[in-house]
Amino acid sequence: MNKPNEVIPPRAPWRASKVALCAGVFAVVSLSLAVFAADLSPVSDFGPAEPGFGGATQVARVAQHGANNRVTGIQAGQNGLVVNQAGIANAAVTAQAGNDNWSVVQQGGNANQYNGYQAGQYNRSMSVQSGSGNAATVTQIGSSMSSQVTQLGNNNEVSILQSRNGAGLQVMQNGNGARASVLMK
């Protein structure tokens, strides 16, 4: 049974019309004011829901399979980080300051890169990259923001900067060579 806000990955590559491919090239950006639920289990399901914060709690979970995968995570405050990497030469760099922020990164394939920074509280960042040569940069400064990046092809790039409290967005790139920049102030 699906949970609210659960992200279910596609089972097969999508086939799209030329219009849909053009939309993918410019990145389909869906804006909403809803914030992801506190449980990020669809991507980070290592068991029960992520713990609540209340004390000096830092959470970092990393799983790597393949070769030459790298993770660098810096956290100040009470935040959580989950990274799953499979493939070759994937890299994730994250920094979080504040409290109750979560970053979840799932990379499959080769040479994918994720750079994330969150400051404030109650922010959520989820990134799923499959394929090769994808790059995502997500910066969220403020409170109660959410972003979800899904890159399903090769050589896609997205850059997100959010500073509007309570904002949420999704970017899906399901082709090759798509470029997108999103600024929400």
Q: Based on C-alpha coordinates, what's the Rg of the chain?
A: 16
Domain assignment present for 145: yes
Predicted pLDDT at 56? 56
Question: Are the C-beta atoms of residues 160 and 172 closer than 8 Å to each other?
Answer: no
Q: Is residue 108 part of a domain?
A: yes
For the chain, give the mean pLDDT.
Answer: 79
Q: Is residue 29 part of a domain?
A: no
Say which amino acid occupies 18: K
Q: Which amino acid is at 86?
A: A
CB 64 within 8 A of CB 92: no
Instruction: Please indicate, yes or no, if residue 138 is contained in any of the structural domains.
Output: yes
d(CA 16, CA 13): 10
pTM here is 0.71
Q: 46 near 61, Cβ under 8 Å? A: yes
Q: Tell me what the mean pLDDT of segment 5-17 comes to.
A: 46
Residues 86-131 pLDDT 10s: 999 999 999 999 999 999 999 999 999 999 999 999 999 999 999 9
Q: Are the beta carbons of 25 and 178 closer than 8 angstroms?
A: yes
pLDDT of residue 185: 86
Q: Which residue has the higher pLDDT, 121 or 7?
A: 121
Rounded Cα gap, residues 31 and 34, in angstroms: 9
Q: What gap in Å lies between CA 129 and CA 113, rounded to an integer? A: 9
| Structural domain total, the chain | 1
| pLDDT tens-place string over residues 37-48 | 334 444 444 433
| Alpha-carbon distances of 37 from 58, 102, 166, rounded to whole Å | 19, 11, 13
> If DSSP states are collapsed to H, E and C, what string results for 23-48?
HHHCCEEEEECCCCCCCCHHHHCCCC
Q: 179 in a domain, yes or no?
A: no
Structural domain of 148: 60-171
How open is the CA angle 155-180-136, to the nearest 5 degrees? 55
Q: Which helix (H) or strand (E) holds 22?
A: helix 18-25
What pLDDT does 122 receive? Answer: 96
Residue with tokens 């289990």: 41
- What pLDDT is attached to residue 93? 98
52 occurs within a structural domain: no
Does any domain span residue 157?
Answer: yes
Please report whether residue 32 resides in a domain: no
